[in-house]
Structure 1
Amino acid sequence: MPVSTTLLALDGSRIDGSLYLDVTGLAHRAPAAVGESVALWSAYGLAVFAMLMLAAWWRARRASAPGMAVALAAPLIVVAVFAVDTALKSVLREPRPCRVLPAGTTLEACPGPGDWSLPSNHTVIAFAAAAVLWRCDRRLGAAAALAAVAMGASRVFVGVHYPHDVLAGALLGLALGALLARAALLAGPAVASLRAGRLRLLLGT
């Protein structure tokens, strides 16, 4: 049920609420197969980024020690960026658009009160992973970037985020992901040492 905008810490509907309604209206008019496919991707697509990070580790076995350091750090970097995003959400406290605007029945169930909207968690995770994967391997990074764009767009399409939630999530994920990936390069000497020991089969060829 919509809540009064006077109670909102941040009224996202004033930013791009009309665009959100346009997108959710398009979702309502789309063929059922399209809606189901987008909803499925929106809910479970993050698993693709986990698989891409696993592929990055495998390919890094033939790469330099700093490259392997970034590949190993990728999951930790994504978790760290997610933690920052979660803290930011609790400060901004923007209610979900599906609780504020008359979007009708959304493709994904509207999260309850207190599950804040800005930035989009899914988008932050996707773009942070893409930033790290780009540092590891350009081909994997390009695939991850396309998947991240699709993830961000899907979050608006299924009705649980404003477009600006997705944009903020993309910028935050890219910025922090790239920064932490660069910092991970400093662990190259440690990886080189490990490659000479018992972990050589996991860290090199």
Structure 2
Amino acid sequence: MPTSSLDERLFAAVQSFARSTPWLHGPAVLFATYGVVLFAGLAFWALLRARRAGDRDLAAAGWVALGTLVAVTVNQPVAALFGEARPYATHPGALLLVQRTTDVSFPSDHATMAGAIAVGLLVAAPRLGRWAVVAAVAMAFTRVYVGAHYPQDVLAGLLLGGLVAEAGWLLLRRPLTALTGWLRRRPVVREVFRPVATG
């Protein structure tokens, strides 16, 4: 996908900011590269918190991880369709703080993952979801900051991930809730995910 003049200007602005903030390089590279671990931890925490809740809440928590896998899978053919080159391929002088990759640039896998988990958590655990939204924006910014993506790549990734997570839950929440109820009555599983009795 060809970059717009606005996108080029935004990328140049972030590049200028990155060159003027060498003290931020380490934390930015760390989060841009390994921030996925934080998002995985948030998804797992949501599942643990919901393990004694009702079927719907547990299903929503489970969808955070499942919906993210679906979103990243959907992103693969979309990225292949556009086939956008990475910024460092079209701008040889660009500041690059991470290793080069042969993957295409649009939409960003990292931003897709972050957007899907953030929206999934807004459904399953709203308070945790709000923190995940902040982390998703930070992930998107750092992916541009380190020179791995254009701004449009991460914006598209956030939107795609969030859309898949939200639409998937709206379409599948009833069968997922029913499946969750069936699964948690199975031996072994019911010991871990037994709902708290009420009434």
TM-score, L = length of structure 2 = 0.90
Q: Does 1:110 align with 2:103?
A: no
Paired residues in the alignment total 193
Q: After TM superposition, where is structure 1 displaced by more than 4 Å over at least 4 residues in a row? A: none
Which stretch of the first structure deviates more once superposed, 98-107 or 60-69? 98-107
Q: Which residue of 1 aligns with 2:15?
A: 24
The residue number in structure 2 matching 1:95 is 85
How far did 1:27 drift?
0.7
**In the alignment, is the contact (CA less than 8 A) between 1:61 and 1:204 conserved in 2?**
yes
Kindly indicate whether the alpha-carbon contact (under 8 Å) linking 1:24 and 1:103 is maintained by their aligned counterparts in 2: no
**How far is 1:106 from its partner?**
1.1
Question: Which of 49, 59, 65 matches 1:59?
Answer: 49
1-structure distance, mates of 2:87, 2:44: 35
Matched AA of 1:121: D
> Which residue identity lines up with residue 42 of structure 1 in the other structure?
A
Identity %: 33
1:110 offset after TM fit, Å? Answer: 3.1
Counterpart of 2:158, as a letter, is A
Is the CA contact (8 Å cut-off) linking 2:63 and 2:169 kept in structure 1? yes
Aligned-partner Cα distance in 1 for 2:136–2:166 = 15
How far apart are residue 189 of structure 1 and its match?
A: 2.4
Query: Corresponding residue for 1:188?
Result: 177
Note if contact 1:13-1:97 (Cα within 8 Å) is conserved in structure 2: no
Local SS of the residue matching 1:146: helix
What corresponds to 1:175 in structure 2?
A: 163
Aligned to 2:3: 12
Give unmatched runs, 5+ long, in structure 1.
Answer: 1-9
**5 Å matches for 1:76-95?**
76-95=66-85
Contact 2:87-2:148 within 8 A present in 1 as well: yes
State TM-score, norm by structure 1: 0.87
